[in-house]
Structure formats: C-alpha cells, structure tokens
Chain A
Amino acid sequence: QQQVKQSPQSLIVQKGGIPIINCAYENTAFDYFPWYQQFPGKGPALLIAIRPDVSEKKEGRFTISFNKSAKQFSLHIMDSQPGDSATYFCAASIRETSGSRLTFGEGTQLTVNP
C-alpha cells in the first residue's frame, strides 16, 4: 500500500522556471516530511525537510509548502538550473515501537533544459 503519493512522474522545465512537485498522504501519524534528491548513479541525498507545525520552509532556491488540513506538501524550485536535473522523492516519517520508518513517494524525474 503506497502511503505517500507523488506527482507528476516527470517534469520538464526551462532554465529559470519554477518546477513544483506535489505529494499527498493519508496517515495523520506521519509527522516529519523530508525531500531527497537523487542524481544518476548516486544514492538519494537529503535536500530539505519540514515538520507539520510550520506551513513553509525555505532553503536557498528550494521551498517546501505544507498544508496539514489537506494532507499535502509540495516542493518548489526557484530559478531552476540544468544542474537541478535529478529525481526528487518526497518522504514521510512515522514513529513506531521499533523506531522511525521513512516511506518514500514514487519519485519525480525533473529535467531543466538550458
């Protein structure tokens, strides 16, 4: 059962554009939401994360918007560059008795054309 739904599957923008990637979740027990960036041939790397008690978090050109009531969150990339071309994964963390578990979305392949 996929608990974190991510869209779109792929996205192509021109340099300088603002790609937006959306994620939705059902389980209200999730309460930490990171985004990971993966380049070809590499493992995913943490990009930015948000807790549900804030509605927005910005780090450089990357912004997470969080809507707790709608159970949705999104990643915006300002002034996108060709070097931002990568696969982006949203994720959600849940506390379990054995520890924490991170569930990933399906991923979005972003291409930024020069």
Chain B
Amino acid sequence: DTAVSQTPKYLVTQMGNDKSIKCEQNLGHDTMYWYKQDSKKFLKIMFSYNNKELIINETVPNRFSPKSPDKAHLNLHINSLELGDSAVYFCASSQDRGYPIEKLFFGSGTQLSVL
C-alpha cells in the first residue's frame, strides 16, 4: 500500500485554467504538507496542515488554495494557472507537528506543465 499517494501523476494544462491535485496518506499522521520542486530541483514548502488546521502558509500567490477535508487528505487547488507554476508538486506527511520533524514521508509528486 502506498503511504502517501497523490493524483494525478502528470497534469498538462493551458494557462488560465483551474486545476486540483489530490493527496491522501494512510499512515495515520497528523500533519500534511505541500512542497514545490522547481526545475532546478529546489524544494520549497508551500503549506502545512495539522489536523485540518493550517499552520504554515508560505508566501505563495493566493491563486493556490489548500483544503484539508480530514487529517488524511490535503488537496491543492490552483486558479488561473500561469507558466511559472510549472513544477513538480509534492505532498508529504509527518507524525505530528512537534519538534523536531523526525521524518517526512513524501508522495511521488505531480508534474504540472502549464502551456
């Protein structure tokens, strides 16, 4: 069973469209994250949720909106897609938000290409 699964794996879309990426974890973890990996492989945190509560909200355009219906799911909705949004988006989870984060479990990523 995949611990952190995200769909779709690939997403190709036109500029201006709205798209969503879904993530689910079956590890029973309390905290989930969205990371963005750019073309140079740099990993940057976007959001973090703990038990459906937003706890980290980095400086990302407000076109990006995370939603956590329950602690096992964290979805990412992106409005009005732009060329610069092209990247790989990773969902991750950890046991809790406590200190330190002992281990992050990452999904396999969603490659978003905006044309």
Contact = CB atoms under 8 A, between A and B. Distances in A.
Interface of A: 31-32, 34, 36, 38, 41-46, 49, 87, 89, 93, 95, 98-104, 106-107, 109
A101 B99 contact: no
In the complex, which of the residues B4, B103, B107 has the most CB atoms of chain A within 10 Å of its own CB atom?
B103
B41 A101 contact: no
Range of interface residues on B (Cβ < 8 Å): 20 to 34
Interface in B73-115: 90, 92, 97-104, 106-109
Contact of B100 (A32, A44, A89, A98): A32
Interface of B: 4, 31, 40-45, 48, 50, 55-56, 90, 92, 97-104, 106-109
B45 A101 contact: yes
A93 B101 contact: yes
A43 B92 CA distance: 9
A46 B93 CA distance: 12
